[in-house]
């Protein structure tokens, strides 16, 4: 590991005052209320800054109206704010137009939507290529599609350190000529950073459609979909300091325009008669029914929050914190760390580990008594863990509010668990 990356900055401590979660928390038992939590599960969901909470509260309290329907002023303002949010999010990820942004319920919903929308383009025997780094949300929808259409699924291998084997991916793409290549940008189990631009170039060389799962990258680094040159990209609002229940599907404008809708109902039509229905233009044709308006506005507020901080500053801070944390954990003899950063690879925001003699689920319960929140299990990445010869790990994951004190609290829990199970 690089010693020059071992000293984190103070962004985490300084920013915590903007997150109510780190203040006096009435949701906790009285004896723990003023103990600042060591929240190390941001890969599962992030905590929310006050600006996001206030924006959603303001809409629900004073601005609540449905969009795209009402002729009255309140509805018009809500519609304007909703579409402004679409434009801000498009700009945030480098999309060429707001029309490239479809609002969904989250990454899982986005990938399922793409799988359903692409189904008419596929024929029996066609191939789809994934990798062993994928979250189940980027495996199961393709398996279901493969069952319906009798397709063939192929998985590119990874190294023992959890790095994507680009040679194996290239060979599988060249051999199978897939119609779809769907790949994570950052592994939710290891934090592995995938060279996604190179992956998309390989896929496009054989005419494949590319889908990127950016659920774990969007909060840790700047995204530029035009530079990546992916056809589709998905992420969830709640991992980007926004609310649950809202996600984004980016699609190249011409690709979205060529697809038929997946869900039917109000809002996605141009005209309806008893004989025939015609569709609205994209992205509205993929947004049937009343959308999560308050959640979209909250996500836009989250985007502005991280934009003002600067994604470059966030990435730099979290990288320093990651390496400092790995160096600290490596000093614990009972801990075995997993991930590419141990071997010079690129890793973002996530550290997985095991403790000798202590099951990850037991450790997670013990850590909670120290007010340390982390994740234990297979992390919805069972093929990945099986490839590494593991059934489960403990996982910590950082946000821009994370600090080294969180890691020290974790180490206290490790020492207690060792004594308890020795």
Residue 258, pLDDT > 90, answer yes
pLDDT at 35: 64
Q: Catalytic annotation on 200?
A: no
Torsion of CA 90, 92, 95, 101, to 10 degrees: -30
Alpha-carbon distance of 230 to 95, in angstroms, equals 11
pLDDT band at 12 (very low <50, low <70, confident <90, very high): confident
Q: What's the distance, Cα to Cα, between the start and end of the chain in Å?
A: 30
| pTM of the complete model | 0.94
CA angle 7, 10, 14 (to 5 degrees): 165
**pLDDT tens digits, one per residue of 261-299:** 999 998 888 999 999 999 999 999 999 999 999 999 999
φ, ψ at 199 (rounded to 5°): -60, -45
Query: Which tokens belong to 420?
Result: 């308890």
**pLDDT tens digits, one per residue of 345-370:** 999 999 999 999 999 999 999 999 99
Distance set, CA 310 to CA 49, 191, 222, 248 (Å): 15, 21, 9, 21
Q: Is 79 helix (H, G, I), strand (E, B) or coil?
A: helix
**DSSP characters over 263-322:** S-STTSEEEE-SS-EEEPPTTGGG--SS--HHHHHHHHHHHHHHHHH-HHHHHHHHHHHH
pLDDT at 25: 72
Beta-ladder partners of 180: 128, 209
pLDDT band at 30 (very low <50, low <70, confident <90, very high): low
pLDDT at 339: 96
Q: Is 355 helix (H, G, I), strand (E, B) or coil?
A: strand
Domains defined along the chain, listed by start: 3-48+310-421 (3.90.1150.10), 53-307 (3.40.640.10)
Residue 24, pLDDT > 90, answer no
pLDDT at 309: 94
**pLDDT tens digits, one per residue of 390-416:** 999 999 999 999 999 999 999 999 999
Residue 10, pLDDT > 60, answer no
51, 100, 200, 380: the catalytic one is: 380
Secondary structure percentages of the chain, helix, strand, coil, to 5: 45, 15, 35
Please report where in the chains the tokens 């071997």 appear, as a residue.
Answer: 343
pLDDT band at 31 (very low <50, low <70, confident <90, very high): low
Q: Which residue has the higher pLDDT, 176 or 266?
A: 176
Query: Which tokens belong to 165?
Result: 């084997």
Residue 32, pLDDT > 70, answer no
Residue 9, pLDDT > 80, answer no
Q: Report the length, in residues, of the chain.
A: 422
List, as own/partner pairs, every contact residues 5-9 make where C-beta atoms lie below 8 angstroms and the sequence separation is at least 24, other chains included.
Answer: 5/319, 5/320, 5/322, 5/323, 5/324, 6/320, 6/323, 6/324, 6/327, 7/320, 7/324, 8/317, 8/320, 8/321, 8/324, 8/403, 8/404, 9/316, 9/317, 9/320
**pLDDT tens digits, one per residue of 289-338:** 999 999 999 999 999 999 999 999 999 999 999 999 999 999 999 999 99
Residue 230, pLDDT > 90, answer yes
pLDDT band at 183 (very low <50, low <70, confident <90, very high): very high
Residue 196, pLDDT > 60, answer yes
């Amino acid at each position: 590991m690089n010693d020059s990356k071992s000293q984190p900055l103070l962004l985490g401590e300084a920013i915590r005052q903007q997150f109510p979660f780190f203040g006096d928390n009435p949701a906790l038992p009285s004896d723990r209320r003023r103990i600042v939590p060591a929240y190390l599960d941001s890969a599962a969901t992030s905590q929310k800054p006050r600006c996001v909470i206030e924006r959603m509260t303001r809409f629900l309290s004073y601005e609540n109206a449905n969009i795209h329907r009402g002729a009255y002023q309140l509805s018009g303002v809500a519609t304007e704010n909703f579409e402004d949010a679409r434009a801000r999010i498009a700009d945030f990820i480098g999309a060429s137009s707001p029309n490239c942004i479809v609002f969904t319920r989250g990454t899982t919903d986005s990938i399922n939507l793409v799988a359903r929308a692409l189904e008419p383009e596929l024929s029996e025997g066609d191939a789809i290529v994934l990798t062993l780094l994928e979250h189940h949300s980027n495996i199961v929808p393709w398996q279901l599609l493969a069952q319906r259409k009798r397709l063939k699924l192929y998985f590119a291998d990874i190294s023992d350190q959890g790095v994507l084997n680009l040679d194996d991916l290239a060979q599988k793409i060249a051999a199978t000529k897939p119609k779809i290549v769907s790949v994570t940008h950052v592994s939710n189990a290891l934090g592995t950073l995938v060279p996604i631009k190179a992956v998309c170039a390989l896929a496009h060389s054989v005419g494949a459609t590319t889908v990127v799962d950016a659920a774990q990258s969007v909060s840790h680094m700047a995204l530029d979909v035009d530079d990546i040159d992916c056809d589709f990209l998905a992420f969830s609002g709640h991992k980007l300091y926004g609310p649950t229940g809202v996600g984004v599907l980016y699609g190249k404008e011409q690709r979205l325009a060529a697809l038929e809708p997946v869900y039917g109902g109000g809002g996605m039509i141009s005209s309806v008669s008893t004989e025939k229905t015609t569709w609205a233009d994209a992205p509205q044709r993929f947004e049937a029914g009343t959308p999560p308006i308050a959640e979209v506005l909250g996500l836009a507020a989250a985007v502005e929050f991280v934009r003002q901080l600067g994604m470059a500053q966030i990435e730099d801070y979290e990288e320093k914190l990651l390496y400092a944390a790995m160096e600290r954990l490596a000093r614990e003899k009972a801990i075995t760390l997993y991930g590419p950063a141990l071997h010079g690879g690129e890793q973002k925001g996530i550290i997985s580990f095991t403790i000798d003699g202590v099951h990850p689920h037991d450790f997670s319960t013990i850590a909670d008594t120290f007010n340390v929140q982390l994740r234990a299990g297979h992390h919805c990445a069972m093929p990945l863990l099986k490839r590494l010869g593991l059934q489960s790990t403990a996982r910590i994951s950082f946000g821009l509010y994370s600090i080294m004190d969180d890691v020290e609290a974790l180490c206290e829990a490790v020492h207690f668990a060792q004594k308890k199970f020795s």
